[in-house]
Structures are given as structure tokens and as C-alpha cells.
Structure 1
Amino acid sequence: MDVANFGFVVAGLVVGFIVGMTGVGGGSLMTPILLWFGINPATAVGTDLLYAAITKSGGVLVHRKNSNIDWKITGWLTLGSVPAVMLTLWFLHSLHTAPEALNSIIKQSLGFVLLLTALAVLFKNKLLAFAHRRGVDHSQISDSKLNGLTLVTGLILGTMVALTSIGAGALGTVALFILYPFLPTRRLVGTEIAHAVPLTLVAGLGHASMGNMNWELLGFLLMGSLPGIYIGSHLAGRVSDRVLRPCLALMLFSIGYKLVF
């Protein structure tokens, strides 16, 4: 195994651990890492999506065993996200004859979503406080309206993930905190990881059908990520992220700013 491939294994291990522990950091970390390694933007997104689907499947097994998944919420999210993924992939396929245009759209979208993710990670506690404050009136929201808002959230996440492979972690978790302020953090993390599996699988297979896939690279990433997410999932909610969060936000903001501007 040469140095570059070993680097992919280490990257998979670190990102898998962070995803399992916090539910955040999959695409927002892995896609920029792949770009840094010189991987084509479209290929980086496509490879990362299948990487995320397989990696988070391991996390689902652990979270399901610990009863950390709300399957009803997962279902409503998926009902919105999967159709959104299909429509977005159809749009990207129409640009497939113009690779430069496709890569430009992906890089710009990636930059903007990274900036949003950085803000969501940095101000997570303030957003949580807001969610709990409005939770007093949460009972006044009907189940049908809450289901509809969850479906719309899935639609937005599906569009972002298909374009950039980013959004199902930090942004998705923050959205769920606001919609379901009284659901325990560990269940929100587990629910978002469960939703991310069908979302990233459909998006990843769609990108693969367009040729945006490096199977050898995927194999090296999984060598590190599968044990990483297994360990991280067992530590979910037990390890403080006060140091990790600002560093992660700064890095994501810097990368996003560079891609956009």
C-alpha cells in the first residue's frame, strides 16, 4: 500500500469515528479531503456518497441496538429526500455532456453548503437553546403539520446531498433539533444517521451511473471508516465536542470560502 492509499485509509478512520460519535462530518469532511488529494469534484462527490451509505449502515446497526432511532421521523425525511435526489440527479445528468459546467456547479454548491455547515456546527448550542425555548409551544403544532415540515426538510437535504454529498449530518441534525426539541440528542443523531443511509445510497448509485465513481478509492476509505464509525457510535453522547466543534467549523468555513470566492 503506497502513501496516498494509506492516507485514504486514515482519512476514512478519522471521518468514520467523528460521524459515529456526533452524526456530523461525513461529506463535509470527506469531500474536501478528496478534493485536497486532487480527486475530480464530481468523482469526489459520487465516491463520498457511497462511502457514506456503507459507513453509516454500520452506525445504524449500533444505534438500532441501543434504541437510538425514531423510524417514523426517518420515514418522513426519506419521503422528501429520495425524490429530491432523483430530480437533482436528473438535472446533473443533463449537464453531463459539459463536464466543466458540472464540476463548476458542484464546487460552488459545495462551497455554500460548507459555509452553512460551518455556521451550524459553530452555533450548535445557540440553536439548541432556541429549539428548547420554542419547545414550550411545541404541543400546539399538529402531527400533520410536523410531518409536513419534516418532509420538506428531507426535500431540502436531498437536494443538497445530491449536489455536494453534504448536508445530512450537521444541517440535518440541527433541523431535527428545531423540529423535535424534546427528542434526546442520541436519538436525533441515530435518526439522522438512519435517514442518511437510503439518501446517500440512492444519490451515490445515481452518481455511479453517471461515471462519477472511483471504486478503488472507495475500498480504501471503507477500510478505515467501518471500524471508525463502530467505535465512534459506542461513544455517541459521551465525549465532549467543545474543542472539536470550533476547530471543525473553522476548517469547514475556510474550505467553503475558498471554493466560493
Structure 2
Amino acid sequence: MDLAYIIAGLAVGFIVGLTGVGGGSLMTPVLLWFGINPATAVGTDLLYAAFTKCGGVIVHQRAGNIDWKVNGWLTAGSVPAALLTVLALHVWHPDVTTLNALIKHALGIALLLTALAIVFKTRLLALTRGKQATSSDSKPSLPLKTVMVGVLLGVLVTLTSIGAGAIGTIALFLLFPLIPTARLVGTEIAHAVPLTLIAGLGHAGLGHVDWLLLANLLCGSLPGIWVGSHLTGRVPDGALRPVLALMLALVGLKLVW
């Protein structure tokens, strides 16, 4: 079974590198398909995301594609929200059946939101970039709005491991239409690392991380991401994203209902 996990990590890593779609929205459903219980799937995937995105932070920082001020606003909301969510799970300490049911429903909703974000990303981006506006940084309400987005992502990511990629990036597109796309993507990747690491360690404290499974996934995903990133642009984005969105929507509907 170890080989199957390595192949799964390779496939997901390749797709993430090729399309930019967040690993959580793909890896967690794959782990559920393998029969991993929802709590362990989420906890393991959170640490998987933290390790794999570290490399992305290095690349984007070298390219100057991280806005550390925006990243700070997001982190100010997401990290405390993640800590409080983990604390609530520790204090509540629900039985396995109840926790898995909670995570399944939250995961289903997150997958549906991610599918919508993938489908409407281009339209939303065109809409926001087409607005006549002064510099986004001059709006006094932006820091508060960004912190609130961070809070929502902190809760969602901690419960489901999904949201930091597609949903978080779309939120940044809407809030900061004048910032280049590459810079927004790099900022969200940098924000995802501490968020997924803290949430993942919190789940590890609850016993929701399979360390051997994590190692197998990383063995496959790291070369997969490298290969996929070098093929970016050669496969039509318009062909891949609808297929991914449909797959995530079907899984999400199944989990919710």
C-alpha cells in the first residue's frame, strides 16, 4: 500500500504544479478514497501542505512575489483562529464518529466552495481588474477585511485542510485587484505555511496524523510538483480546471449529503 500512497502523492503533486490548484482540495479526497478516516486525512494533509509549500515560498521570495504586509494581515487572523479551533477540538474532544461527521460536512462545503472558486476565477479576476480604483493599499478598511478573511480561512483550513489555496487566492483577488496575480499567489502560499503547520501540529496532538503515510506522500509529491511546474502552460488551463472543478463538486456533494 505504500507504493499506492507514493503514486497518489506524485499525481497530486503533478496536478498542483501544473494547475496551481491547492493540494488539500485534491489530496484529502484521495485519502478518503483510500479509506483513511476523515480526521486522520485532514491532519496528515495539513502537515503535507506545510512541507510542500515551503519550497514554493523560497521560489516566490526570490522572485519578489510575496507581499509581506498583506501576508501579515492574513496571518493575524488565520493563526489565532486556527489555534482557537484546535483548542476547541481539544476541550470538546468529541468521539471519533461525531468528529468524522463534523469534518465530512465541513470538508464537503469546502470542496464545493473550491469548485466554484476554480470555475469563476477568471471572471472574478476580470471583474476586479476592470474596476476603476485608486491604490488598494490606501483603503483604510482593507486591513480589517483581510484579517477577517484570515479568520475564516483559519477555521476552514483547520477543520478541512482546504481553502488556503483556491479560496484564499480568490479572496485576495477581490480585495487587492491592482496587485499582480503572481504576487497574490506567492503571498497566499507564504500565508499557508504557518497556518497549515500550526493546524497540522494541533491535529497531531489529537492523534490525527499518520506519520508513515505523510512520508510516503512527500516522497511522491516533491518530484511531482517539480515536473508539473515545468509543464505549466503546455496543457490548456481551460481544459483542466473544469474537470477538476467537476470532480471536487461531486466529492463535495457526496460528503455533504
Equivalents in 2 of 1:29, 1:224: separation in Å? 14
| TM-score where L is the length of structure 1 | 0.92
Match of 1:122 in 2: 119
- Asked whether 1:224 is paired with 2:220, we answer yes
Query: 4+ runs of 1 displaced by more than 6 Å?
Result: none
Q: Which moved more, 1:216-225 or 1:19-28?
A: 19-28
**How far 1:23 sits from its partner (Å)?**
3.6
Total equivalences in the alignment: 257
Judge which range, 30-39 or 145-154, deviates more: 145-154
| One-letter amino acid of the counterpart of residue 58, structure 1 | G
Q: Distance in 1 between matches of 2:77 and 2:234?
A: 31
Find out whether 1:12 has 2:3 as its counterpart.
Answer: no
Matched with 1:209 is 205
**2:103 counterpart residue number:** 106
From the superposition, tell whether residues 113 and 140 of structure 1 become closer, same or farther in structure 2 (CA, over 3 Å). Answer: closer
Cα distance in structure 2, aligned partners of 1:194 and 1:21: 19
- Structure 2, unpaired ranges of 5+: none
Tell me the secondary structure at the aligned position of residue 157 of structure 1.
helix
Task: Kindly state the Cα deviation for residue 227 of structure 1 after the two structures are TM-superposed.
Answer: 2.1
When structure 1 is superposed on structure 2, of 238-247 and 192-201 the one drifting more is 238-247
Contact 2:112–2:253 under 8 Å retained in 1:
yes
Matched with 1:36 is: 33
Deviation at 1:230, TM superposition (A): 3.4
1:185-204 deviation line (CA, Å, top 9, x unaligned) = 22111111111000000000
Which residue does 1:51 correspond to in 2? 48
Q: Tell me the alpha carbon deviations over residues 122-151 of structure 1, each in whole angstroms, 9 at most, x when there is no partner.
A: 1111111221133x1243773432121111
Select which of 157, 164, 171 maps to 2:160.
164
With over 3 angstroms needed to count, the CA separation of the structure-2 counterparts of 1:71 and 1:108, relative to structure 1, is same
The separation in 2 between residues aligned to 1:59 and 1:233, in whole angstroms, is 11
What is the aligned-residue identity percentage?
A: 63
1:192-249 deviations in Å (ceiling 9; x for gaps): 1111000000000000001001000000000011222334455667764111100000
2:10 and 2:223 in contact (8 A); partners too: yes
Aligned match of 2:182? 186
CA contact (8 A) 2:136 2:178 kept: no
- Looking at structure 2, the residues matched to 85 and 140 of structure 1 have their Cα atoms a distance apart, in angstroms, of 27
Secondary structure of the 1:144 match is: coil
Match of 1:255 in 2: 251
Letter in 2 for 1:203: A
Uncovered stretches (5+) of structure 1, i.e. residues with no partner: none
The 1:145/1:111 distance shift into structure 2, 3 A limit, reads same
With structure 2 as the length reference, what TM-score do the two structures score?
A: 0.93
Kindly provide the amino acid, as one letter, of the partner of residue 183 in structure 1.
Answer: I
User: Greater shift after overlay, 206-215 or 121-130?
Assistant: 121-130
Determine the C-alpha separation between the residues in 1 that align with 2:161 and 2:169. Answer: 15
Equivalent-residue separation in structure 2 for 1:109 and 1:169 (angstroms) = 16
CA distance in 2, matches of 1:73, 1:190: 11
Provide closer, same or farther for how the CA distance between residues 236 and 193 of structure 1 changes in structure 2, counting only shifts above 3 A: farther
Q: Measure the CA separation in 2 of the matches of 1:161 and 1:138.
A: 32
Contact kept? 2:135, 2:178, Cα under 8 Å = no
